[in-house]
Amino acid sequence: MSGVVVHLPPGSGGTDLGEPRDGAVTLRLGPGEVARFGRGSTAVPVELRLSDAAISRLAGEIRVTDDHWQLTNHSAAHSYLVENPEGAGEYLRVPPRRVGVPIPFEFSRVVLPTRGEVPVSFQVFAPDHVYLDPDATGVPWGNHTVTAYSLDETATYFLVLVALCEPRLRDQSRVAVPTTPRVVERLRRLAPCRTLTARAVSSHIDYLAEEKLRIGAPAPGDHGKGDRRNGKREEIVALALRFGLVREEHLALLPPLTEAGGRERQAER
């Protein structure tokens, strides 16, 4: 496991010991590293500040190991929830003073109770879960054989990836990669994706590029945001098809094509 990414949404807090920030905060932690979270103070430094009076100065900590991450709850009174946003309500409850709870989810939302109507939460992404080499089952353990691109085919980001690759898989030609609105339209017919937004799809594309497929930074000549986004989608599709990460059988994960959708594809050629 190469580490985890911790993301604090805008308006929830900040980092270090400065004033709370309105912008989003992202921390990257490697194996063996620890990030403490809470309200913090000069006497109690934390890496992730959460700006709510109901949260302890040192509320808890995240510790990254070689193959998973752990959550410790320093609160003496409150339990924390670790939700799987893609698990149909699946969650873990971490009771007060519980140390080192192993978290199995690839996507996690850590939720802390507050006195307000909306609890404080942050997200933890663990992009490199380790899987057994299917050809090595039953043999003595040595070093782990890990997948070069660790993709969860039950995750929403994989549906986004399949939707991006769909035109080229069906037509075997250099047709345009679908735009973000087209991906939203394509996936919303699936029950788990009925509330999918363009912003969420863009986040999944960023996650695929930066964490799962490890595509490099845009070229110096890519000045516009739209150009960078289009180039990123093109690179994602090219890599996924080149290495067979998305194949024709994965098209069964998408809703059936409508006749109107087929005419639109013909018009786009």
Mean pLDDT for 184-189 is: 95
Q: How far apart are CA 134 and CA 47, in angstroms?
A: 39
Q: How many angstroms separate the Cα of 14 from the Cα of each of 82, 97, 176?
A: 20, 24, 40
Q: Is residue 151 part of a domain?
A: no
Are 110 and 184 in a shared domain? no
Helix/strand/coil percentages in the chain, nearest 5: 30, 20, 50
Are 109 and 17 in a shared domain? yes
What pLDDT does 22 receive?
Answer: 52
- pLDDT of 63 > 70? The answer is yes
Q: What is the dihedral of CA 178, 180, 181, 185, to 10 degrees?
A: 70
Domain span at 211: 156-268
156-171 and 259-268 are packed helices; what angle lies between their axes, rounded to 10 degrees?
60
Q: Is residue 141 part of a domain?
A: no
Domain count of the chain? 2
Mean pLDDT for 73-101 is: 92
Are 161 and 114 in a shared domain? no
Query: For residue 232, which of 259, 203, 200, 253 has the smallest C-alpha distance?
Result: 203
Mean pLDDT for 142-155 is: 72
- HSE-up of 133 (CA within 13 Å, CB side)? 12
What pLDDT does 251 receive?
Answer: 95
Q: Is residue 188 part of a domain?
A: yes
Q: Is residue 167 part of a domain?
A: yes
Are 202 and 161 in a shared domain? yes
Q: Is residue 63 part of a domain?
A: yes
Are 117 and 170 in a shared domain? no
Of 13-22, 86-95, 247-256, the poorest mean pLDDT is in 13-22
Q: How far apart are CA 204 and CA 213, in angstroms?
A: 12
- Residue 210: band (very low, low, confident or very high) from pLDDT cuts 50, 70, 90: confident
Q: Is residue 110 part of a domain?
A: yes
CA 113, 117, 120, 124 dihedral sign is: positive
Are 101 and 161 in a shared domain? no
Are 97 and 198 in a shared domain? no
Are 165 and 110 in a shared domain? no
Cβ atoms within 10 Å, residue 126: 22
- Residue 115: band (very low, low, confident or very high) from pLDDT cuts 50, 70, 90: confident
Q: Is residue 130 part of a domain?
A: no
- Residue 253: band (very low, low, confident or very high) from pLDDT cuts 50, 70, 90: very high
What pLDDT does 127 receive?
Answer: 73
- pLDDT of 120 > 80? The answer is yes
Are 198 and 240 in a shared domain? yes
Which of 125, 145, 171 delimits the end of a domain? 125
- Residue 60: band (very low, low, confident or very high) from pLDDT cuts 50, 70, 90: very high
Of 41-55, 140-154, 178-192, 218-232, the poorest mean pLDDT is in 218-232
Of 39-43, 148-152, 231-235, 250-254, the poorest mean pLDDT is in 148-152
Are 115 and 193 in a shared domain? no
Mean pLDDT for 93-119 is: 91
Are 192 and 80 in a shared domain? no
The identity of residue 94, as a single letter, is V
* CATH code: domain of residue 36: 2.60.200.20
Q: How many angstroms separate the Cα of 226 from the Cα of each of 5, 183, 218?
A: 25, 16, 12
Which of 105, 125, 145 delimits the end of a domain? 125
Can you say how many angstroms the Cα of residue 76 is from the centroid of all Cα atoms in its chain?
30
Instruction: Give the chain's mean pLDDT.
Output: 82
- Residue 24: band (very low, low, confident or very high) from pLDDT cuts 50, 70, 90: confident
Q: How far apart are CA 255 and CA 21, in angstroms?
A: 41
Are 106 and 13 in a shared domain? yes
245 φ, ψ (degrees, to nearest 5): -70, -30
